[in-house]
Amino acid sequence: MMFQSDTLANHPKIRVLIVDDVAETRETLHKTLFLEAGIEVVGTAANGEQAVEMAVERQPDIVLIDLILPGIDGFSATEQILQQVPSAQIITMSVNGETDYLRRSMLVGAREFLIKPFSGYELVSSIRRVFQWGSGGPFTSVSEVG
């Protein structure tokens, strides 16, 4: 007989790095993901420089990154992360839903673009979807809730 814990042990958790310059947003995202089975937050960063350093150090599966950050912005940080951690999948997020942000996100290698505010359900769905697509999957969706 297989117990649920045995089943979960066979599936490694999706390792997520959260990057946003607003502490309250980082905390909210962390709390939302903490409650999800199969997802582990491996770190939070407040700027692009920290994001790149933490991505190299912690090797996340998914980097959830805001595009407007102090110092290195989310676009440049995404490029640097993908150069140094090619296995990472990037989900960009922004309050700005303009087409230019979406286009630039695609060009630097993001897999998905979330427009703030988004629901916990949309966040988790996006993380699971991008993780399943893996490194060979195309950027195919823009998600907006709210």
- Which CATH number covers residue 37? 3.40.50.2300
Q: Which amino acid is at 105?
A: S
Structural domain includes residue 107? yes
The verdict on residue 36 lying in a domain is yes
- The answer for residues whose C-beta is within 8 angstroms of residue 122's C-beta and 6 or more apart is 114, 143, 145
27 falls within a domain:
yes
What is the structure's pLDDT at 145? 39
109-141: burial string, b at 16+ Cβ within 10 Å, e else: bbbbbbbbebeeebbbebbebbbeeeeeeebee
Domain assignment of residue 60, given as a range: 14-41+52-137
Q: What is residue 133's predicted lDDT score, i.e. its pLDDT?
A: 86
What tokens appear for 97 in the block?
A: 């839903």
Q: What is the pLDDT of residue 12?
A: 83
pLDDT at 10: 55
* b/e code 69-87 from CB counts within 10 Å (16+ = b): beebbbbbbbbbbbeebee
pLDDT at 144: 43
88 in a domain, yes or no?
Answer: yes
In a domain, 46, yes or no: no
pLDDT reported for residue 139: 46
- Is residue 102 in a domain? yes
Asked if the structure places residue 96 within a domain, the reply is yes
Q: Which of 46, 56, 59 is nearest to 20 (CA)?
A: 46
pLDDT digits (tens, 9 = 90+) for 25-65: 999 999 999 989 999 999 999 999 999 999 999 999 999 99
Predicted confidence at residue 118, as pLDDT, reads 96
Q: Any residues with CB less than 8 A from the CB of 38 and at least 6 apart, and which?
A: 8, 11, 13, 14, 128
Establish how many alpha carbons lie within 13 A of residue 51's alpha carbon, considering only the half-sphere containing its beta carbon.
34
Regions of the chain with pLDDT less than 50: 1-9, 135, 137-146
Confidence at residue 11, expressed as pLDDT on a 0 to 100 scale: 59
pTM of the model: 0.85
Contact 109, 86 (CB under 8 A): no
